[in-house]
Amino acid sequence: MSSQTTGTEVDLEAVNGGVEGDGGVEHGARLVAFTEAVMGDDEAALARERDALRAVLTPEAFVDAAAVIGAFNVVDRIADATGIPLDAGLAAMSGEVRQDLDLARFASSANTPGAS
């Protein structure tokens, strides 16, 4: 939605690793690499990606990026653990994005009726 609001073209396939480059998002490749490192268990990779991202972002933007990763991770895990389905409005609004990213491949998609 933010890309539509700003008129920026983004390639969501960058999230799945299917695009080389930034996917239309400034520092997109660095952000994806940092997110993957945060979610992984390789401390050296995390340190490397953290340093690489901090080198291209302002301190405030780095904190924002880390906060978004952390917030999404916790909210997503709570929703998955409790079986909270995606509400009808968000399901309708996000249908194309969910399809483009092939989110139905994840077991938690079973919590969204008609989405899996």
Look up the domain containing 39 and give its range: 2-62
Contact criterion met (CB below 8 Å) for 53 and 30: yes
Q: Is residue 50 part of a domain?
A: yes
Q: Is the pLDDT of residue 66 over 90?
A: yes
pLDDT at residue 24, as a whole number: 76
* 115 lies in some domain: no
Interval 11-33: pLDDT, tens: 777 777 766 777 778 898 999 99
The answer to whether position 108 is within a domain reads no
Contacts of 86 by beta carbon, 8 Å cutoff, 6+ apart? 94, 111, 112, 115
Q: Is residue 101 one of the residues assigned to a domain?
A: no
- pLDDT at residue number 93: 83
Nearest CA to 62 out of 51, 75, 74, 73 is that of 51
Both tokens assigned to 92: 């309708």
Count of domains forming the chain: 1
Look at residue 95 and tell me if it is in a domain.
Answer: no
> What is the per-residue pLDDT for 67?
96
What is the rounded distance in angstroms from the CA atom of residue 4 to the CA atom of residue 41? 34
| pLDDT interval class at 114 (50, 70, 90) | low
* Token digits of residue 65: 């990026």
